[in-house]
């Protein structure tokens, strides 16, 4: 069995005639000493149809580029583009795929240069043969969403929200709703955050490489539980705020 581009194990028959530069490795076969070629996993994103870039695994088990699946979710579809299952988030880094990509080399389909798969996207951006045939490698982009500051209502993008809060509202202590979370499924103005700075740092200012750290993931889960506990407390003691 082999793991397909969607991140799931699928049975495959080796195809030595694949013109797309499939990766093969050799190993001893039968007693006659024949060498059998076997195909190893595909690392192609089902959205952009290119090799994975910062692969993440969704709740339903499929693997996509981080930017690709984030784009789908920011369009408010909230469904897996592969199986249409509901997705509450873009998922978590597919560390098994990341490790395999770092240890696997493949010939570029155009110039035949052998490249580590984790560096293939960077290579394609400068590969003259690829650019001549397909044009410059196009990264999936999504329209920038702006969010109102819960204190002053100034609209900022997600990356600027924390800096704005630290500059102008650092001394604020009253619970507020998160303008980012309220756009997510199940979010709403009644979801109050007791420590908005900490919430932004943990939930909305991750870099992909940092998120792989399991300690950070655990901290996020703890923060979510604490936020939910505070929300329940507010609803019990101030039923009119719901």
- As given in the structure block, the two tokens for residue 145 are 């969403």
Integer CA distances (angstroms), 175 to 147, 149, 196, in order: 17, 13, 8
Domains and CATH numbers, the chain: 55-134 (3.30.40.10), 147-204 (no CATH)
CB–CB of 40/23 below 8 Å? yes
Q: Output the pTM of the full model.
A: 0.49
Q: Outline where the chain has alpha helix (H).
A: 66-74, 95-102, 120-126, 128-134, 158-168, 196-203, 208-211, 214-237
User: Model confidence over 64-111: pLDDT tens digits?
Assistant: 998 888 888 876 678 898 898 988 788 889 999 999 999 999 999 899
User: Model confidence over 198-217: pLDDT tens digits?
Assistant: 777 776 654 454 444 444 44
Neighbours of 112 (CB within 10 A): 10
Assess whether pLDDT exceeds 90 at residue 123. Answer: yes
CB–CB of 69/6 below 8 Å? no
């Amino acid at each position: 069995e082999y793991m397909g581009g969607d991140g799931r194990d699928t049975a495959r028959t080796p195809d030595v005639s694949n013109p797309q530069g499939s990766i093969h490795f050799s190993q001893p076969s039968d007693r006659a000493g024949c060498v059998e070629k076997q195909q190893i996993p595909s690392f192609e994103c089902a959205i952009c149809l290119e090799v994975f870039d910062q692969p993440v695994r969704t709740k339903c088990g499929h693997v996509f580029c981080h930017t690709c699946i984030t784009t789908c979710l920011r369009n408010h579809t909230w469904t897996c583009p592969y199986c249409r299952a509901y997705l509450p988030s873009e998922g978590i880094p597919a560390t098994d795929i990341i490790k395999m990509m770092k240890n696997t080399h493949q010939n570029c389909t155009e110039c035949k240069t052998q490249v580590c798969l984790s560096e293939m996207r960077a290579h394609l951006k400068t590969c003259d043969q690829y650019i001549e045939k397909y044009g410059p490698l196009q990264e999936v982009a999504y329209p920038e969403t702006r969010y109102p500051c819960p204190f002053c209502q100034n609209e900022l993008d997600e990356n600027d929200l924390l800096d704005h809060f630290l500059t102008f509202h650092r001394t604020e202590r009253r619970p507020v709703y998160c303008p980012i979370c309220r756009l997510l499924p199940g979010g709403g103005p009644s979801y109050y955050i007791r420590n908005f700075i900490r919430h932004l740092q943990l939930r909305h200012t991750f870099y992909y490489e940092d998120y792989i750290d399991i300690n950070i993931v655990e901290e996020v889960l703890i923060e979510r539980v604490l936020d939910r506990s505070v929300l329940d407390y507010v609803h019990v003691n101030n039923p009119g705020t719901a």
